[in-house]
Structure 1
Amino acid sequence: MKKARYNRISSPNQKLERQLKRNHPDEIIFNDVVSGSIAFKDREKGKKLMTAIENEEIDFVSVAAVDRLGRNLYDVLTTLEFFNERNVVLRVDNLGLESMVNDKPNQVFKLILSVLANVAEMERANLRERQLEGIAIAKAKGTYKGRVRGSTMSDSEFLRKYSHVVKEIQNHQGLSLRKLAKLTDVSLGTVQKISSLLYNQKV
């Protein structure tokens, strides 16, 4: 088997050690530094892994957990289907399960993957809802301060911070700002500001 391991962290200050603990010397490593809200097929290393699979260079992929593939149930299942159609085995370490059994899709694996991805999606939505509720309560009490005064980022720093949003805006110019906000998991106001900066700077 030609093996690969896919790892993902959201920002450079996070560490990959935990995901690499089960790494084997014969595995080709693909490390992405990108938000989990970005579709697997749109990630730099995700694309390279998919290309390697299409070139029949890889037929076995390991990930530490389901959420490394994505936070969106549709994206996770789409990626799994891509693997299955090309007879590539996907192993999820923390489940101890593989997507193929005797060269056939493992339906139990797909069911468990669907449930876990759906739960993760709901947990993220609930977390966002609790954050908004906390902000609303703090505002009502007069204790919400928002961004610390004097900490405003420059336009270039702001665009670098939301580079994944910049990329999606440039790649999906016909998409509404509201849909882009949902796709990139940021607020509508953030997408509007980025879009305005890109337009003004003609990026």
Structure 2
Amino acid sequence: MTKVKYVRVSTTEQNTGRQETNSKEFSKVYIDKVSGSVKFSERKEASKLILDIESGIISEIHINSIDRLGRSIIDILTMIEFFNEKSVKVFVENIGMFSLIDNKPNPSFKMIVSVLGNVAEMERNNMLERQKQGIELAKAKGIYKGRLYGTRMNDDEVLIKYKAVVKELKNGESLRRAAKIGGCSLGTAQKIQRILQEKEAA
């Protein structure tokens, strides 16, 4: 039985160093560079972690913060419940608590996680609302050029529309360079990168 760590950052350009500061303590560190909106079970490294749990070789998982498991409170609690069922302890470093005590669910942990998860979800929704208001204001001023999110384009249509971005990313260029060359926002470049990664993994 082993102790492992799970690390997630949203983009390939983000540094995982802060979350890996104590990595030497663990038998293995799983690192995903993917948006928190992607369900835990659908992430490349998280899927490997789940398989290792199913194999019974993991007894303890450490994460930097609870939002590494998911963006919504439902996704977070679903994963915590899965870990509990498998008798795998989760330790959240920024609150210093274990999900299980003597192999039983820690009620204080669940309460704090629920609060933190709800706060994170509320902050995300507020950010999206502010973003929406900003777009409406830009439209009213006649300076809005359109954006990828909220459109009805499917993945293939997105890749066709942003061929230059696709080319830059496939050549190993940074997201910022790809966005600049392709004439789109960094967020759009990140979306395109995710599509490419999903197609590659399929």
Q: Give TM-score, length-normalised by structure 2.
A: 0.74
- Tell me the CA shift for residue 22 of structure 1: 2.7
One-letter identity of the residue aligned with 1:16: T
One-letter identity of the residue aligned with 1:45: E
Q: Which residue of 1 aligns with 2:13?
A: 13
Q: Does 1:72 align with 2:81?
A: no
Which 5+ residue runs of structure 1 have no aligned equivalent? 172-203
Q: Which residue of 2 aligns with 1:53?
A: 53
Q: Which residue of 2 aligns with 1:154?
A: 163
State the distance in 1 between where 2:35 and 2:141 align. 33
One-letter identity of the residue aligned with 1:3: K
- Are the counterparts in 1 of residues 10 and 34 from structure 2 also a CA contact under 8 Å? yes
Call closer, same or farther: CA 1:100–1:120 in 2, change over 3 Å.
same
The 3-state SS of whatever aligns with 1:90 is strand
Q: Does 1:44 align with 2:54?
A: no
Q: Which residue of 2 aligns with 1:137?
A: 137
The 3-state SS of whatever aligns with 2:144 is coil
The 3-state SS of whatever aligns with 1:24 is helix
The 3-state SS of whatever aligns with 1:59 is strand
One-letter identity of the residue aligned with 2:5: R
Q: Which residue of 1 aligns with 2:186?
A: none
State the distance in 1 between where 2:117 and 2:45 align. 21
Call closer, same or farther: CA 1:166–1:6 in 2, change over 3 Å.
closer
Call closer, same or farther: CA 1:162–1:24 in 2, change over 3 Å.
closer
One-letter identity of the residue aligned with 1:153: Y
- Tell me the CA shift for residue 25 of structure 1: 3.6
Call closer, same or farther: CA 1:65–1:164 in 2, change over 3 Å.
farther
Q: Which residue of 1 aligns with 2:87?
A: 87
- Are the counterparts in 2 of residues 34 and 164 from structure 1 also a CA contact under 8 Å? no
- Are the counterparts in 2 of residues 89 and 98 from structure 1 also a CA contact under 8 Å? yes
RMSD of aligned C-alpha atoms?
2.4
State the distance in 2 between where 1:164 and 1:61 align. 29
Q: Deviations over 1:109-160 (max 9, x none)?
A: 011111111111111111011011011112212333446xxxx621882784
State the distance in 2 between where 1:141 and 1:43 align. 40
Q: Give TM-score, length-normalised by structure 1.
A: 0.74
- What is the total number of aligned residue pairs between the two structures? 165
**What is the percent sequence identity of the aligned residues?**
43
- Are the counterparts in 1 of residues 71 and 121 from structure 2 also a CA contact under 8 Å? yes
